[in-house]
Structure 1
Amino acid sequence: MRIISRPRARFLATIGLAAALIASLTGCSQVVEAFNGLNAGQNATIAIPTPNPTASDVARPFDSDFSYDGSTTLSSEVADGLELRIDVWAADPKRTQEWTPDSEKAFGFAVNVYDSRVDEKAVLAQKRRVYLSMVSITSQVSQSAMNQGQMMSPFQFSADPRTLVPTDTLRSDRGLLLNSFQGGLLVPETTIHQLPADAYGITLQFALQIAVEGSANDDNSFATQTVYQVLPIAIYSPSTASE
């Protein structure tokens, strides 16, 4: 039996671990080069290639999923297994990199609710009803350090959703019913007008007043609450938009 000294054994173990690591990250020719480096001495350094950054790794000028994808979903759990969603999308221009301070910037949004306790096709009596009585959106603009605070709320929106939908849409004194077969609230387009020339972002702040049914088909189990969500939107300089 051949006896291997402890330092030599540790060195061989290091080779084995390094080989496994390199093989998972590099091609065969690079594995051979790495082994040659190890054989040259125990203090040899193995250079492991660093992957090139992907598009998602590149820093954004104003961190906004909406601006990056052209749409986003803001989700809130309003009760156990009961989710309220605000879907927002760019309407005009659809390319969010064309959203500049002096341009008209239109977006659409929809509000719906999903009850995971029952099948999506279940009748209304089996679902926990959610009524929406008010939608309010305020905003805060982000500007260069020199001019911060000039426009605190350049965009505002406030409406009773019952005034925004056809008169035959299901409703009550509690508000517009969101989880009916007719669907929830749809606002196809609303516009953010001119912003300060040095604006590089705007944050929309949603506030939704809702009444949530605690148990399905139980008029006495409703409780009211206000749902808050924020939506950051990047604003690009005209030169960036033209590119």
Structure 2
Amino acid sequence: MVGMPPAPLTVRAAAVAATGVLVVTSFTGCSDIANAFNGLQQNAVSTPAPGPSASTAAMPFDSKFTYDGSVSLSSDVAEGLEVRLDVWAADPKRTLEWTPQNDKTFGFAVNVYDHRVDEKAVLTQKRRVYLSMVSITSQVSQSTIGAPQQPTMSPFQFSADPRTLVPTDTLRSDRGLLLNSYQGGLLVPQTTIHQLPGDTYGITLQFALQIWVEGTANTDSSFAQQTVYEVLPIAISDPTVSAR
């Protein structure tokens, strides 16, 4: 299974699009993936910072990230069958240093665990889970009082069929990418949230994972489709406070 850094990881691939689904060929290196993400993210929707006449108020935000910038979100998709989404801050590595102005880079991984069998059990003994689509939308929380209302926006968006992001020898089917294979789940090493409105005090990432779940191990006729939703609120720091 794919874990989180610092342990070495085999990069599968990753892609990001401002809107819609992006289909790309496989990447082989972290630098290629970073360039693909960051280049395409330049097209994401942005909102200008509030004018100097706007008054702001400090607002609390219930961030799920830990102090060192990581979080593990878990969903039970069947009895004893867990889909796990791990997210970590990459640069800066502490989300306390994430501000509206700087680039905020994070990575994430999707894996599955069948707790009914030993982790080292062969695949035919495990209930298979296929991932057919990964989507992320976002929403910002702003503290400006008295400023003109900005339109609803999603400053960070991601949508991809994982089968287009991995080498051709990776186990997959018409249901999607197989998560519980010896090759591991889906890994996106890094992608970047760019500049946010100046009064942003939080951003909420909304993950949607479309999966196919096997009801009985090694039984093709027992698959059922479902969508796993995870919400990740992340606090954004005020650089003027940090500098004091």
1:104-123 residue pairs with structure 2 within 5 A? 104-123=103-122
Query: Structure 1 residues 108, 74: closer, same or farther in 2, change over 3 A?
Result: same
Provide the residue aligned with 1:157 in structure 2. Answer: 158
Tell me, in whole angstroms, the C-alpha distance in 2 between the residues paired with 1:116 and 1:210.
18
Any idea what SS the aligned residue of 2:227 has?
A: strand
Question: Comparing both chains, which one has the higher relative contact order based on Cα–Cα distances under 8 Å and sequence gaps of 6 or more?
Answer: 2
Tell me, in whole angstroms, the C-alpha distance in 1 between the residues paired with 2:76 and 2:241.
38
Provide the residue aligned with 2:50 in structure 1. Answer: none
Provide the residue aligned with 1:131 in structure 2. Answer: 130
Provide the residue aligned with 2:26 in structure 1. Answer: none
Any idea what SS the aligned residue of 1:200 has?
A: strand
> Does structure 1 conserve the Cα–Cα contact (< 8 Å) formed by 2:135 and 2:209?
yes
Tell me, in whole angstroms, the C-alpha distance in 2 between the residues paired with 1:166 and 1:241.
43
Provide the residue aligned with 1:191 in structure 2. Answer: 192
Q: 1:241, CA displacement in angstroms?
A: 3.7
Deviation digits for residues 152-207 of structure 1, max 9, x if unmatched? 31110000111222221111110000000010000000110110000000000000
> Does structure 2 conserve the Cα–Cα contact (< 8 Å) formed by 1:99 and 1:241?
no
RMSD of aligned Cα (Å)? 1.5
- % identity of equivalent residues: 79
Provide the residue aligned with 1:207 in structure 2. Answer: 208
> Does structure 2 conserve the Cα–Cα contact (< 8 Å) formed by 1:76 and 1:84?
yes
The TM-score, its normalising length taken from structure 1, stands at 0.72
Task: Kindly indicate whether residue 179 of structure 2 is the aligned counterpart of residue 178 of structure 1.
Answer: yes
> Does structure 1 conserve the Cα–Cα contact (< 8 Å) formed by 2:215 and 2:224?
yes
Provide the residue aligned with 1:229 in structure 2. Answer: 230
In structure 2, the gaps of 5 or more residues are 1-58
Q: How many residues end up aligned between the 2 structures?
A: 184
Tell me, in whole angstroms, the C-alpha distance in 1 between the residues paired with 2:139 and 2:120.
40
Runs of 4+ in 1 over 3 A off after TM superposition: 147-151, 240-243
Deviation digits for residues 41-99 of structure 1, max 9, x if unmatched? xxxxxxxxxxxxxxxxxxx9311131534100110000010000000000111121111
Task: Kindly indicate whether residue 219 of structure 2 is the aligned counterpart of residue 218 of structure 1.
Answer: yes
Deviation digits for residues 209-234 of structure 1, max 9, x if unmatched? 00000000000000000000100001
Structure with bigger gyration radius: 1
Provide the residue aligned with 2:98 in structure 1. Answer: 99
Provide the residue aligned with 1:89 in structure 2. Answer: 88
Q: Which amino acid in 2 is paired with 1:124? A: L
Q: 1:149, CA displacement in angstroms?
A: 4.5
> Does structure 1 conserve the Cα–Cα contact (< 8 Å) formed by 2:68 and 2:94?
no
Q: Which amino acid in 2 is paired with 1:121? A: K
Provide the residue aligned with 2:79 in structure 1. Answer: 80
The TM-score, its normalising length taken from structure 2, stands at 0.72
Task: Kindly indicate whether residue 152 of structure 2 is the aligned counterpart of residue 142 of structure 1.
Answer: no
